[in-house]
Amino acid sequence: MENSQFISGIYNWCDRWCERCTFTARCRVFEKEEIRKNADPDQDVWTAVSDSFKETIELLRKMADEMGINLELSEDEKTEITLIEDSLEEITKAHPLKSLADDYLDEGKDWLESSATKDYLLQLQTQVELGTIGIEDAEKRIKSIEESLEVIQWYLFFIAVKIQRALGDQNREFWKDYPVEERGDLGTAKIASIAIDRSLGAWGSIYQIMPDDDILLSLLAKLEKMRRLLKDVFPNYLVFIRPGFDER
């Protein structure tokens, strides 16, 4: 029986940022991860996932043998699946929304790896030394930049991954027979939208502090185009109900 403490499936529709989540006490995945950490603090998460995968495969094979189920695919089935997957992958890659997400990822990554922030902080230090900016004002700006960068870095790859996933699910039409509020492609699009909105706010905060950086404006424009195009491609994503998050 499912423990009523936990919200079924809540971990499928989150942003994986457990440190900032208010639902960790009701998430079974979080509880299992905490148990794993406490049992073996030195074991990294990928080793734990690998061990769990091996156990699952062994159990599946045992059950299949007992029930006389053949888990192997025929060569014809393998060929058909490969052709379908390749075709769907090409369609997803060619989608304007996917291209926009990839461009944002590349440009955002380049900016984060550049000296833009370091250069600004050096300028800020000089201004403080000259007395043109107060220490308190400088500290507020630095804190805002640090907090914004944390959000940006968390969602930078996340957005591209979720958009590709949403487009792939939509192309496969697997969810077409489900109610709108339960369709996985819409749920994934909704998570992507949340990440885009939070990234817009974070980049916007930095742009207010560093208005002379044209790349920041370009990044904001890409995110806004992405936000609008996402609504066009998935017009009903707001209807999707994420367990826990959207049921307050």
Average pLDDT over residues 23-27: 91
Which residues in 55-65 are b (16+ Cβ under 10 Å) and which e? eeeeeeeeeee
117-134: pLDDT as tens digits: 999 999 999 999 999 999
- DSSP codes joined into one string, 160-226: HHHHHHHHHHHHHTTTTTS-GGG-HHHHHHHHHHHHHHHHHHHHHHHHHH-TT-HHHHHHHHHHHHH
Q: Is 179 in contact with 113 (CB distance < 8 Å)?
A: no
pTM, 2 dp: 0.78
How many residues are present in the chain? Answer: 248
Question: Residue 86 has which token pair?
Answer: 């390749």
pLDDT tens digits, 37-66? 777 666 565 565 566 566 667 777 777 777
First and final CA of the chain: distance in angstroms?
24
Query: What pLDDT shows up at residue 180?
Result: 86
Task: Note the pLDDT tens digit of each residue in 193-224.
Answer: 999 999 999 999 999 999 999 999 999 999 99
Contact between 18 and 34 under an 8 Å Cβ cutoff? The reply is no
pLDDT for residue 225: 94
Percentage above 70 pLDDT, the chain: 83
The pLDDT confidence band at residue 86, using thresholds 50, 70 and 90, is low
User: Which percentage of the chain shows pLDDT scores above 90?
Assistant: 53
Residues near 153 by Cβ (< 8 Å), separated by ≥ 6?
A: 112
Confidence check: pLDDT of 1 > 60: no
Note the pLDDT tens digit of each residue in 59-75.
Answer: 777 777 777 776 676 67
Distance CA 154, CA 138 (A): 25
